[in-house]
Structure 1
Amino acid sequence: MSNADKCILSSHCSQAGGPNCNNLCSSWIAVHGFNGAGGRIAAANVPKEYAGVTLQNSPAREDQAEAYKLIDAYVNTFKRQFSDAEERIKSLYLYSESPGTGKTTSASAVLHEYIVRHYIGSLQRDRQPLERCAYFLDVNAWQTLFLGFNRSHVPAETAEAHAAEYYAMESRAKVTPLVVLDDIGVRTATDAFRADLHGVVNYRVANGLPTVYTSNVAIGDLAQVFDARLADRVRDMCVVIPFVGGSKRGIRRSAQKSRVNTSLKISE
């Protein structure tokens, strides 16, 4: 049974849809795991509802056509990851005042594109692809974990488990080459949590690591979320892409299975 309709590599692969397109494919295993629930995709922590979303099949592409022109151009800069001499990859700030306009869907597609280009580009250069080259951090879910070990009367075992996962997520979000910080516009947070979020952002900015932010807060108003100094650092080397219209929640990937192109060879 072919994995072409589930594999994010399929539009780059001459074997997609053929007899070798199955669970034994080494690239399928490397990216998706043998059973489709592991590999580099699992390490990236993308929510299940955005599994398999690519720039080609994204349900937000039609409604956000202008945004996708910029995103398409942006992902072409991912080749810079292989050269220290190149200008660093910029960050993205996906913004709309209204929720549900496709920002998280699009950020997930960008993350998957980074995995594809990192995996293929590494093999072409005889390098070992990183096990985790991209990571998705849901800031609200991360904050929930924080509350899970900082409230009173939390059982010790529960608090310990939440704390361990919280700090593991913090570490991954700091050092992974490309990270999505989904919904950074947290307005009601303790100073301690806000300091941790600031620490992640500051580390990435200081080390030139590209970050894809999604937010309902305009970048000019980030001082409401971060202090002014850090808000300025986020704006540095960051491309703002506005998303238009109202909520499209509930519209998912109806066109996803149409993305297979078996004529293409693996390329950047």
Structure 2
Amino acid sequence: MQLGIFAKTFAGTDPTQVLQAARAAGYATVQFNLACTGLPSLPDEIADVAALVARIDAARVASGVGIAALSGTYNMAHPDPAVRTRGRQALGHIIDIAGALKIPLVTLCTGSRHPGDQWAHHPDNATLEAWADMVADMADALQRAEAAGITLGIEPEQANVVASADDARRLIGEMASDRLRIVLDPANLFEKADAGHARTIVARAVEIAAGLTVMAHAKDRQADGRFAAPGRGVVDFADFIARLRASGFEGAVVTHGLEPEDAPDVARFLAPLLTVPA
């Protein structure tokens, strides 16, 4: 396993400086975001794709930091079809860039019926219509991913249409594509729980997603539901990572949701857990 971090944890629009900051904090790889180049995370258009690709590639080489994934999140279940269409078109740019840079994974958000926040719960998320709209967008994205030779990663989130590992397996089964896989974040599998309950929930999700998990995220939660940096909440990361390893997972473990000044301490906390026991 490799230790990674969201690149946009570090401020700046020079990708070389951003990746060098990740390296200095103790990370071998990142989940990259086009915001780190001065563009929107999901741009409607890119004036010079070749120049952008060359710029990111030069940053990767200069820093020695890998890029495990590229963020391509938009609301795939938004109630307005025009918003979904705009998101699909922008995702196409992200997939093309990932393909050109041979970044193996583009991460997605399966979305919410909430019109203003793709990360906010809405009661209509559980409807057949929301699922169908998300599936239609996912089918289009998978066609693009197949052409680019990359994989799409969906993250079970309680506030999204794909709210659980069970939902993620169901979607992968329906899409019948080996280009669709799971990004597993333990802190998104529950809201309020003590350490024992959280451990049980996360262990079950790892088991359900076994063989389909392509990346893990490392974010923590306090017992009252507030997000926290890894090691400062109720998630048992030693147990989580050991279970991932036992399931055959060998991907990147990517932390996020922390302040840049906390990044070195989080790296020191997580790195020993990723080392294969002697």
TM-score between the two structures when normalised by the length of structure 2: 0.32
| Larger RCO, structure (CA 8 Å, separation 6 or more) | 1
Query: Over alpha carbons, which structure has the higher Rg?
Result: 1
TM-score between the two structures when normalised by the length of structure 1: 0.33
Q: Of Structure 1 and Structure 2, which has the larger fraction of its residues in strand?
A: 2
